[in-house]
Amino acid sequence: MPVLVTLGLFLLAFLIGAIRYPNFGTGQVFLDLFIDNAFLIVVAIGMTFVILTGGIDLSVGSVVALSGMLCAVGTMKLHLPALVVLPIVLVIGTVFGAGMGYMIQAFQIQPFIATLAGMFLARGVCLTISEEQISIDNGFFDAVALNSLPLPGGTHLSYGAVIALIVFAVATYVLQWTRTGRNIYAVGGSEQSAMLMGLPAGRTKIQVYAISGFCSALGGILFSLYTLSGDSTHAVGMELDAIAAVVIGGTVLTGGSGYLLGTLLGVLVLGVIKTILSFEGTLSSWWTRIAIGVLLFGFIALQRLIGTRRRTRSA
């Protein structure tokens, strides 16, 4: 039900925009939602894996900024080939996430505290590298960022958006049709029951934080492609946008229930709100935050209502 509500909300918002603004209801505006939010889609996918186990990852925005800064420094300061820098960035992000997952599992630290420390650490390292914005003028980055995939009807889709959709397809397969996905849902439903069934709960929790770290690093690469720069102030608050997209998409914060399709729709809902405000032109961007707050309250209430009904029926 939450996923269907999110889908209906997205279609309603897009329809309102199409009625109000002449050039809104076009195929390119719809594709622009993916182009402008490709990095957030990838980051929110990683966040979904974590929340499905009942955890949280507050470090994703800082890891996005750190990854973008590493891309800029590696290509512009160290003059390394982009195809060497990008795998290193992805490995660093994955190891960083796995390290937080290990701390959470081995020392029984609350995910909120562990990832909060990770957020400060990643942002601090980013500021240590450089407090100034570093522009990326690299042939590989320019080729990927400035070109796009042509589609029928004169529309186009950026390669960053294509990468985000590929990540979505792979992540959906992992969650729905692999043992790892089943373990994630089981741990989120009840970690104690999962352990009694012999499932590797500890290893699963480390895996989801490693996945989140990888997605954050990849999101940072996509963000650097989107802006062609690295900056220590990039992605401030992106962790909140990612959590909002996951919750609006119907994933339960306590874990065990949710779908990546809902997360994708949640990102699109946030994107269409921002697009409506940009078309309006006279409204402050803070109205986006107000709309997100209202939606979060609504979907949390909906989750609570559905949970209450399920408990009533089971009783």
pLDDT tens, residue by residue, 187-212: 998 888 889 888 999 999 999 999 99
> Is residue 285 exposed (0-12), middle (13-18) or buried (19+ Cβ within 10 Å)?
exposed
Q: Where residue 283 falls among pLDDT bands split at 50, 70, 90?
A: low
Confidence of residue 310 (pLDDT cuts 50, 70, 90): low
State pLDDT tens for residues 288-297.
778 778 877 8
Number of domains forming the structure of the chain: 1
Average pLDDT for residues 164-173, to the nearest whole number? 96
Residue 60: what residue type? V
pTM (global) more than 0.85 = yes
| Owning domain of residue 191 | 2-314
Residue 315 has pLDDT above 80, yes or no: no
Three-state SS across 263-307? HHHHHHHHHHHHHHHHHHCCCCCHHHHHHHHHHHHHHHHHHHHHH
Structure confidence at residue 118 (pLDDT): 96
More confident: 257 or 177: 177
Q: How far apart are CA 50 and CA 24, in angstroms?
A: 35
Contact by Cβ (8 Å): 28, 183: no
Tell me how far apart the alpha carbons of residues 35 and 30 are, in angstroms, rounded to a whole number.
9
Q: Which two tokens stand for residue 256?
A: 């065990």
Q: What is the pLDDT of residue 311?
A: 61
- What phi and psi, each to the nearest 5 degrees, are found at residue 299? -75, -30
Confidence of residue 72 (pLDDT cuts 50, 70, 90): very high
- Alpha-carbon distance 251 to 59, whole Å? 19
Contact by Cβ (8 Å): 216, 97? yes
Residue pLDDT, tens place only, 96-125: 999 999 999 999 999 999 999 999 999 999
pLDDT band at 253 (very low <50, low <70, confident <90, very high): confident
- CATH number of the domain residue 116 falls in: 1.10.3470
Q: Among 2-11, 60-69, 184-193, which stretch is predicted with the lowest mean pLDDT?
A: 2-11
